[in-house]
Amino acid sequence: MSCVLTLACNALVGLPAVDPPDAGSSHSDPPLPDGAVEAEAGAQDANGETHPCDLATVSSDSLHCGWCGHSCGGTACQSGMCVPSRLTTPSESYQGRYSLLVVDDDDVLFADWCKGAPVYRAASGIASPIGVAGCGGSLVRDGNRVFYMNVARTSNPITSDLLSFDIHGTATTPVLTDMQDWVTSTAIDSTSFYYAYGEGGQHGIVRLDRNAAGNIDPGATRTALLETAAQSFVLVGDRIYLVGDKKVQSVSKNGPPATTLYTFQNDLTDLATDGTALYWLEVKTRTVYRGALDGSESTIVATSLSDDPRYVAADGKSVYFGVGQSLQAANNDGTRRRVYAEWNVEHGTANDDVVTSIAMSNGYVYWGRGVQPEASLWRVPR
């Protein structure tokens, strides 16, 4: 399942600690406001020749697709959107609800929910299984190690195992076994491992301290940091931020009390951070929010969307989110809304063939699509 993702279903993924955004990110600027003209914008083709941007042709120009400077990287531009690349082949069958972890542009790890192996590596057009059969959950990275949850959904009671593998390898190592209940979101930092448990994180968040060697010790004391629902959580500095029970809250990594930052009348789903702000979704009003880490103010990034928003990810400049059968984005302040990809329902219903996770590399945005066995993984230049 997951988090950009923080893949697979982001709603089930806790992201690791986030550094401040890199101001040198190389992806292109999003579209200018209607009627604006970007002067002397150009992009180089495969032969190194520079092509200026013509606003009259951004609907089909693969070097300036949708907006000036947005190159499709070799794919076509149709209706102002780069044709996305599928990273899993149609002959491969996955259950979806991915947690995504991008190693580099051409190496992506994703967790698969109860269909085959718990984790797969999509590289060079081939998806290779990692681990034995199970229900793959939250993927988090710690240096060159990747940790993932394998949920024994059919056992009674439900238990979860934490396993790890080298980021470039496939051999898995058990870390924690027979963990209580359904572990959903996870996160890790230099001192501790954190997890939310119970379906939808309903039982709260637990901290498990690492030993002197930096390893996760199965015998270490487990500290309950919060005993209310944590549907999704992220780490920023010395605090944990979470959504659940119609609230955005924060709690110290050392434990209670929790602080309520924002309160709503409707349920909130998914949470992301760029290290300087929080982003979350209110499905009933079809709204994407941005909020200060100290709870001082919240603003609307996008609202009255054409369908329910699903999953959110942020990079310090833009916010990415699914809307029905599309992947969309906006600047952090809500300006320059754009659509990166659209598709028709191919499997199941309109509620099945949707975005199930989002992650980014420097050059691409990736998303899982579908919650049925024909689920797939895609990317498009940012």
The model's pLDDT over 225-259, given as tens digits with 9 standing for 90+, comes to: 988 888 899 999 999 999 998 999 999 999 999 99
- Residue 195 domain boundaries: 10-18+56-381
The mean pLDDT of 101-125, rounded to a whole number, is 84
Percent of the chain with pLDDT over 70: 84
Q: What CATH code is carried by the domain that includes residue 71? A: 2.120.10.30
Number of continuous H segments (helices) and E segments (strands) in the chain: 0, 32
Tell me which residue has tokens 């809500």: 334
Cis amide linkage into residue 309, ω under 30° from 0: no
Q: Does residue 190 contact residue 173 with C-beta atoms inside 8 Å? A: no
Q: Which amino acid is at 290?
A: R
Is 359 part of any domain?
A: yes
pLDDT at 34: 38
Percent of the chain with pLDDT over 90: 54
Query: Is the pLDDT confidence value at 39 over 50?
Result: no
Q: Does residue 366 contact residue 377 with C-beta atoms inside 8 Å? A: yes
Closest CA to 17 of 163, 207, 154, 192: 192
pLDDT at 47: 53
Phi-psi label, residue 227: left if phi above 0, alpha if psi -120 to 50, beta otherwise: alpha
Query: Is the pLDDT confidence value at 200 over 70?
Result: no
Query: Is the pLDDT confidence value at 1 over 80?
Result: no
Q: What are 61-78's pLDDT values in tens digits?
A: 999 999 999 999 999 999
Is 37 part of any domain?
A: no
As a whole number of angstroms, the distance between CA 18 and CA 6 comes to 10
Among 213-227, 235-249, 302-316, 317-331, the least confident range:
213-227
Query: Is the pLDDT confidence value at 148 over 80?
Result: yes
Q: Does residue 292 contact residue 280 with C-beta atoms inside 8 Å? A: no
Is 184 part of any domain?
A: yes
Is 31 part of any domain?
A: no
pLDDT at 71: 93
Which two structure tokens, joined as six digits, stand for 158? 């439900």
Cis amide linkage into residue 30, ω under 30° from 0: no
Phi, psi for 342 (deg, rounded to 5): -135, 150
As a whole number of angstroms, the distance between CA 247 and CA 7 comes to 23
Is 46 part of any domain?
A: no
Is 29 part of any domain?
A: no
Beta-ladder partners of 12: none
Domain count, the chain: 1
DSSP state for residue 333 in the 8-state scheme: T
As a whole number of angstroms, the distance between CA 27 and CA 66 comes to 14
Cα→Cα distances 278→208, 270, 297, 314, Å: 24, 10, 11, 9
Burial class (CB in 10 A: 0-12, 13-18, 19+), 212: exposed
The mean pLDDT of 353-370, rounded to a whole number, is 92
Cα→Cα distances 225→139, 145, 257, 344, Å: 21, 25, 9, 43
Instruction: Tell me what the pLDDT averaged over the chain comes to.
Output: 84
As a whole number of angstroms, the distance between CA 187 and CA 151 comes to 16
Among 8-22, 58-72, 228-242, 352-366, the least confident range:
8-22
**Residue of higher predicted confidence among 20 and 46:** 46
pLDDT band at 48 (very low <50, low <70, confident <90, very high): low
Is 24 part of any domain?
A: no
Is 51 part of any domain?
A: no
pLDDT band at 116 (very low <50, low <70, confident <90, very high): confident
pLDDT at 2: 35
Which two structure tokens, joined as six digits, stand for 276? 């300087």
Query: Is the pLDDT confidence value at 197 over 80?
Result: yes
Residues 6+ apart with CB under 8 A from 349: none
